Amino acid sequence: METTQWNLQIITLNGTTTNLTYEDLLALPQITVTSGLYCYGNIVASGDWQGARLSDILNQAGVDQSVLSIDFRANDGYSVSMPINMAMRQDIIVAYELNGSPLPETLRLVVPGANGNSWISMITSISMSDSPLDESISIPVSIPAYVPNQTSSTTPTLQPSQQNQPQTQLQPPTNTSNKNPATEPTVPPTNVTQPPSGQKVAGLQGSIPSVGVVYVLAISAVVGLVVLSAVFWHRKLRA
């Protein structure tokens, strides 16, 4: 449906119907609310929502103390409800723009702090009811609360509280798999039984004479025996 053909019906308790065109909504004081649309923790859209304050729309149609809840119905048959004390909050608007651009869904209820299923879009009717409504059932609050931040020359702007603001950028962990590790000097394998350089080995290995020494001693013994044998036989022959 084109915006020029869009009508928003406001129905009071006594059945009086007020028809607001898209141009009628634009003529109301424009309010800017900075908020994020979340679906059970997942961000769907965020930024500056521009529209008409819901309380201004209800007051224009005629709301009194008998009204206890507000019912919203969309063009596709979807509907949500909220208690009147929430509907009169100054940060709840019927938005027609996001970040200065018209919404493709034409109209959307902006409810900072509520889950996205309460942010009904393509709204075609708003009805007043005298039925009490439990706030925790109608508007499941699962998103950080929003508080006023600054006021422009015409309308207040609402910003999320700093400590509960959802994180929008995650720094990826540093990937060090492609980095060359620092070069370490290669240590040759060592034998734990090898003595330090310059130190002699004590024990069996140091007590064994070399082969050359053994050979010389053996020759000397043989020569000695030969000499003694010759002397013995020489003396025996002379006797």
Predicted confidence (pLDDT) at residue 12 exceeds the cutoff of 60: yes
CB proximity list for 206: less than 8 A, separation 6 or greater:
200
pLDDT value, residue 224: 78
> Of 124, 141, 162, which closes a domain?
162
* Average pLDDT value for the chain: 74
Residues 37 and 115 grouped into a single domain: yes
Residue 175 lies in a domain: no
> Is residue 121 included in any domain, yes or no?
yes
Residues whose CB falls within 8 Å of the CB of residue 47, separated by 6 or more in sequence, listed in order? 34, 98, 99
Q: How many CA atoms lie within 13 A of 20 on its CB side?
A: 23
Q: Is 31 in the same domain as 130? A: yes
**Mind listing the pLDDT tens digit for each residue in 41-71?**
899 999 999 999 999 999 999 999 999 999 9
Whether the predicted pLDDT of 199 surpasses 60:
no
For residue 57, give the CATH number of its domain.
3.90.420.10
Domain boundary among 130, 162, 194: 162
Q: How many domains does the chain have?
A: 2
Digit-coded pLDDT (tens) for 106-126:
999 999 999 999 999 999 999
Distance between CA atoms of residues 93 and 82, nearest Å? 13
Q: Which domain holds residue 130?
A: 3-162
Separation between Cα atoms, residue 41 and residue 114, nearest integer Å: 11
Contacts for 36 with CB less than 8 Å, ≥ 6 apart: 43, 45, 46, 143, 160, 166
The answer, yes or no, to whether residue 204 has pLDDT greater than 50, is no
What is residue 15's DSSP assignment?
Answer: -
Residues 219 and 145 in one domain: no
Domain assignment present for 195: no
SS3 for 208? coil
3-state helix, strand, coil split of the chain in percent (to 5) is 25, 30, 40
196 in a structural domain = no
Top-confidence residue, 38 or 138: 38
pTM metric for this prediction: 0.58
How far, rounded to the nearest angstrom, does the alpha carbon of residue 34 sit from its chain's CA centroid?
21
CA 24 centroid distance within chain: 42
Q: How many helices (H) and strands (E) does the chain have?
A: 6, 12
> What dihedral do alpha carbons 16, 104, 24, 95 form, nearest 10°?
80
132 plus 42 within the same structural domain: yes
Question: Is the pLDDT at 85 greater than 50, yes or no?
Answer: yes
CB 67 within 8 A of CB 55: no
Q: d(Cα 90, Cα 86) in Å, to the nearest integer? A: 9
179 belongs to a structural domain: no
Position 169 in a domain:
no
Say whether both 34 and 151 belong to one domain: yes
Same domain membership, residue 218 and residue 134:
no
**Is the model's pLDDT at 9 over the cut of 50?**
yes
For residue 203, tell me if it sits in a domain: no
Query: Cα–Cα distances in Å, from 233 out to 223, 226, 230?
Result: 16, 11, 5
Domain assignment present for residue 186? The answer is: no
- 121 in the same domain as 228: no
pLDDT > 70 in the chain, percent: 62
Same domain, 103 and 40: yes
Say whether both 36 and 93 belong to one domain.
yes
Res 5 pLDDT > 90: no
